[in-house]
Amino acid sequence: MDALQVIAEPRRRQILSLIWDRELPAAEIAAEFDVTFGAVSQHLAVLREAEFVSVRKDGNKRYYRADQDRLAPFKDVLEAMWGAALRELADNIESDEGTA
């Protein structure tokens, strides 16, 4: 899978956003999403394989953090994707307020 395919998946972008500037254990990352731990674990494995996250093991826990240096070449793409998602969210909120 090429790098753009990895970051094109919305859930993986959400994970990267969550761990962009902090390190979190896999279980805490999974708790943020309405999917199984296994599904989040698979996304983390894809991100690991692409070297988009760094992993630190402490006992039986794995802690993940976005590798900002590795993701730097994709920063514009990520910001465009996140920006589009934020604009869509804002539009949805505004349309909901107009119907309430």
Q: Which residue has the higher pLDDT, 85 or 68?
A: 68
User: Is the pLDDT assigned to residue 86 strictly greater than 70?
Assistant: no
- Give the model confidence (pLDDT) of 40-75 as tens digits: 999 999 999 999 999 999 999 999 999 999 988 887
CATH architecture for segment(s) 3-99: Orthogonal Bundle (1.10)
Residue spans of the domains in the chain: they are 3-99
From residue 22, give the alpha-carbon distance in Å to each of 42, 54, 68: 20, 11, 11
Angle (CA) 23 26 29, round 5°: 75
* pTM for the whole structure: 0.75
